[in-house]
């Protein structure tokens, strides 16, 4: 099959995955806006307010190591169906937790939602399965751009449904369940390679490297570190943003608008990030993302006016886009196709493991590191510094490695 044919097939899959990212992905900004607020309403300890979000990310972390190899055996489509189904059930359980006033039932539903979050994370990798080397960074970028629609639809839909019932936020979780149920049917349109289950074993097939061997590859290690830092810092700050906005005297709708602007900033650059990577290389784009993340922290520390929140969260989104898409592209080019299941699962386990820690720390820093919301917000943004140093140091180290080692 020629690259032209491959890219025709890849473009069809990218179109479906963009639609899935837009429609199904709308649930994530909805849940991230109200997760900490719902947790604060039910939690016995204000330091645990963001625990529902942490459970989502933790669920994603423990799902990735088995979901990725499972999809390699059964196909991406089966994994995406599984993710949407778990998202629907998780949302219904969370809604029931709100209805009966149980923090622990809310956490159980959040854990299942993590399976959806993990499956959604593999949309970007699925875009590369049938893409040529030249189209790969653009395919990843276009799929991530589908979040642009989710950024608009999610928070605005949340405004309509979050107070639709006497129980606050119950309408949000019911709407999320509906999104998952109806959205899963679009995966029938995917034309991706079938899984390996049932296929004869080829004795001459190349052997995949072990996890230890993969982690000796400089590009794989640096890609994982940079993806981990970009996603963790984005989650650290975004998770605490609704608490900070409301705590500083603004409204829930203000928080929705700020998160909407943030998610737009996460995905609007995706229309050209792939082109920038193709022109300047992954290392320079990742480095640019880290600098922009640093700028977000500086803006957030300079004040708690409405424009500070908007500017900081917009910069946070752009920095995440460059850092995360750049790291994903670096990882996609650092392993062989037969190593896909192991590498991608290991990557997402490590990345979302750190994101889990970040979301847990977010609530503690925000609510328990000072007497005011402003002091908590300052602590959250200062916590970005060591992680940016880690990722920057990893990139510098990569440039010192001989080409043969990469």
pLDDT in tens, 203-219: 555 677 777 888 888 99
The total domain count for the chain is 1
Q: Do 10 and 190 form a contact (C-beta atoms < 8 A)?
A: no
What is the spatial distance between Cα 265 and Cα 143, in angstroms, rounded to a whole number? 15
Residue-wise pLDDT for 26-53, tens only, equals: 999 899 888 888 988 998 887 788 889 8
What is the spatial distance between Cα 222 and Cα 400, in angstroms, rounded to a whole number? 12
Is 203 contained in some domain?
no
Is 239 contained in some domain?
yes
SS3 281: coil
pLDDT of amino acid 96: 97
Q: What is the DSSP letter of 198?
A: T
Is 204 contained in some domain?
no
Cα–Cα nearest to 332, from 176, 224, 207: 224
Cα–Cα nearest to 27, from 130, 131, 120: 120
Cα–Cα nearest to 141, from 325, 347, 331, 334: 325
pLDDT of amino acid 86: 97
Is 200 contained in some domain?
no
CATH of the domain at 178: 1.20.1250.20
Is 276 contained in some domain?
yes
SS3 129: coil
Is 243 contained in some domain?
yes
List CB contacts of 54: < 8 A, sequence separation 6 or more.
Answer: 356, 359, 360, 363
Q: Do 212 and 348 form a contact (C-beta atoms < 8 A)?
A: no
Q: Do 237 and 313 form a contact (C-beta atoms < 8 A)?
A: yes
SS3 219: helix
* CA dist list (Å): 342 to 53, 60, 194: 26, 16, 17
Question: What are φ and ψ of residue 369, in 5° steps?
Answer: -110, 5
Is 205 contained in some domain?
no
pLDDT in tens, the chain (406 residues): 444 455 788 889 999 999 999 999 999 989 988 888 898 899 888 778 888 988 998 998 899 888 988 898 888 999 999 999 999 999 999 999 999 999 999 999 999 999 999 999 889 888 888 888 778 888 888 888 888 888 788 888 988 998 889 998 999 999 999 999 999 999 999 988 776 654 544 555 567 777 788 888 899 999 999 999 999 999 899 888 988 998 898 888 888 889 888 988 988 888 888 889 989 999 999 999 999 999 999 999 999 999 999 999 999 999 999 999 999 889 988 877 777 778 888 888 898 889 888 888 887 888 887 778 899 999 999 999 999 999 999 999 998 887 655 5
Is 220 contained in some domain?
yes
What is the spatial distance between Cα 214 and Cα 211, in angstroms, rounded to a whole number? 5
- Rounded to 5°, the CA angle 197-198-199 comes to 95
H helix intervals, 169-280: 170-183, 211-214, 218-247, 252-267, 270-280
Domain holding 9, by residue range, is 3-187+211-405
């Amino acid at each position: 099959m020629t690259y032209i044919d491959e890219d025709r097939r890849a473009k069809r899959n990218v179109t479906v995955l963009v639609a899935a990212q837009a429609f199904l992905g709308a649930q994530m900004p909805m849940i991230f806006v109200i997760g900490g607020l719902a947790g604060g309403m039910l939690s016995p300890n204000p330091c645990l307010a963001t625990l529902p979000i942490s459970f989502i990310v933790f669920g994603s972390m423990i799902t990735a190591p088995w979901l990725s190899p499972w999809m390699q055996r059964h196909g991406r489509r089966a994994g995406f169906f599984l993710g949407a189904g778990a998202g629907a059930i998780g949302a219904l359980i969370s809604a029931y937790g709100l209805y009966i006033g149980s923090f622990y039932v809310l956490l159980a539903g959040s854990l299942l939602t993590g399976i959806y979050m993990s499956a959604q994370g593999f949309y970007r990798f699925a875009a590369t399965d049938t893409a040529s080397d030249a189209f790969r960074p653009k395919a990843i970028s276009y799929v991530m751009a589908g979040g642009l629609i989710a950024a608009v639809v999610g928070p605005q839909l949340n405004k309509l449904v979050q107070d639709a019932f006497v129980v606050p936020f119950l309408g949000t979780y019911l709407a999320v369940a509906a999104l998952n149920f109806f959205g899963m049917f679009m995966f029938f349109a995917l034309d991706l390679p079938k899984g390996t289950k049932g296929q004869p074993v080829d004795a001459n097939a190349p052997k995949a490297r072990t996890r230890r061997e993969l982690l000796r590859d400089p590009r794989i290690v640096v890609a994982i570190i940079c993806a981990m830092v970009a996603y963790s810092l984005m989650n650290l700050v975004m998770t605490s943003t609704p608490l900070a906005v409301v705590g500083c005297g603004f409204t829930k709708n203000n928080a929705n608008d700020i998160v909407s602007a943030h998610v737009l900033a996460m995905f609007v650059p995706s229309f050209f990030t792939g082109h920038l990577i193709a022109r300047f290389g992954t290392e320079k784009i990742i480095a640019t993302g880290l600098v922009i993340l640093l700028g977000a922290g500086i803006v957030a520390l300079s004040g708690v006016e409405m424009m500070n929140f908007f500017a900081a969260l917009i910069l946070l989104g752009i920095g995440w886009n460059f850092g995360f898409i750049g790291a994903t592209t670096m990882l996609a080019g650092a392993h062989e196709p037969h190593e896909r299941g192991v590498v991608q699962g290991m990557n997402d386990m490590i990345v979302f493991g750190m994101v889990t820690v970040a979301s847990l720390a977010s609530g503690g820093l925000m609510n328990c590191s000072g007497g005011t919301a402003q002091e908590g917000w300052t602590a959250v943004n200062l916590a970005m510094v060591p992680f940016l140093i880690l990722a920057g140091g990893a990139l510098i180290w990569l440039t010192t490695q001989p080409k043969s080692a990469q």
